[in-house]
A and B are shown apart, each in its own frame.
Chain A
Amino acid sequence: MDHSSRDYAADQAPAAPQPIQFRASGGEYFRIWIVNLLLSIVTLGIYSAWAKVRRNQYFYSSTELAGSSFEYHGNPIAILKGRIVALLLFGGYNLGLRYSPLVGGCMALLLAAVLPWLSWKSMQFRLYNTSYRGVRFGFKGSARQAYFYELLLPFLSLLTFGLLLPFTHQRLKQYQHSESRYGTSHFAFDGRVGSFYKAYGKFVALYFGGLIVLGAGLTYALWGSLSGPNGVAKSTAFYVITAVIYLWVFLVMPLFLTLIQNLIWNHTSLAGHRFQSTLSWGRSTFIVLSNLVGIAVTLGLYLPFAHVRWLKYRIEATALLPHGSLDDFVAGSEQQVGAVGEGMMDVLDFDLSL
């Protein structure tokens, strides 16, 4: 387990696939998490911005690619300001909704109008504050693109009852990945719309197919109890069916995640270097389910262990396929970004890491 002195000599240009390594441990993160949690509660949430920086610094510095680790540079004061703005907006929305549907509706429209802009700013903040080998990542994009890909397209896919959803997802990833850069080099994304429809199709077929088979099978098997006069047997049968269906939902959700993460990273490249993601459905499902059980049984104390376990699996399933030396990236021009959007995404808990 000890790796306190890394292989200092081996430093040739890497040619073989470079798996990303995640060295964080559940035990160490547990200690960081619980101390930060206590301080956040005692300070009524103010400290949570510092807690976020601590956590990210720990995770980023524990993530290693080709012998070098990542670094997080977020400024806690900026994050705190962002969170306050986000809380005011959401608090206003919730209070408005209670006060009158009209005020609530207006607040909802306001939120919808500012969210794409905030999400764009959040992306910029997150990438600008990430560095690898001393060179920062970045995100360009424009407000026009943000509104097109994060408001108009989702709205259209809503209008088409989700038929356009895979298309929207592909376009969004294409936009996000091609606007992301490392130093002055841009990422590129060549995942095709067809592949997204295929991934969504597989998931939907399995999800609903399973629901129909399970629902029909159980109803048939338990028909005696369901239609019988015994009230206890009836409600027991009903609970059994509900529980099995819930379990099925938890089983197939990780499938969607693995299909999408693999699809996205297998079609992402950076200046000739490619990525590879090899998540498996079985392992993902096992980790997600056992994590949920662990968290429930320990009343939440297992949470940080679960977090590290899940992150470790997802990160280490990804590898870089180098195309030449990793020494030649050049830092771009520096641009400081405010954290208002980041605070908003924290509150919304959007997972933009996909």
Chain B
Amino acid sequence: MISFNTNLLSNTNENTNPLIEPGATLTPALFESIYETFFDRVYNYFSYRVASREEAEDLTAQVFEQIINRFRQYDPAKGQFQNWLFGIARNALASQFRSKKRHPQAALDESFEEDTAVGPAQQILQLEEHSRLLVYINKLPERDRDLIALRYGAEMSQRQIGEVLKMKESAVAVALGRAVQRLRRHFEKDEIT
């Protein structure tokens, strides 16, 4: 059954970083912990950015593959683990875009998370609304889409986004506000017409 999760995004994931000591070895237990902590967020991030479920799955697999290959390169002194992880995710996405020479346009309406708290009629309305949102997000400039995907897909705080994008937190707040404004204009324009 297709439905939605209407639970609002918990504001940040400030405390979800696994404690990784310098020089730590990536044991199966640690990897499993990382996988369970970040899988949904990584997959959601890509779902905001690419056209199909298969692409989102491939990119998610790439990220966790890279974590295994490059774990020794992670230095806790240089920042949080999730910043490093989403840096890998953004690089994988950029590589994907470069190789395909196109940007996504389609929506992922078939993979929305189920939410049994919402009735069937409301689920259909939300499905339509979210599909439209994705279409509008894909019309935004690349930077806006990245900001929105990091904020709402990867569930990162503005401070964490700033660390990933090498921006000040205040600048992230302004840029994110403008991106939402542009998205809102698309949304309203469509409702008028």
Q: Is chain B a partner of chain A in the same complex? A: no
Using a CB–CB distance below 8 Å, which chain B residues touch chain A?
none
Using a CB–CB distance below 8 Å, which chain A residues touch chain B?
none
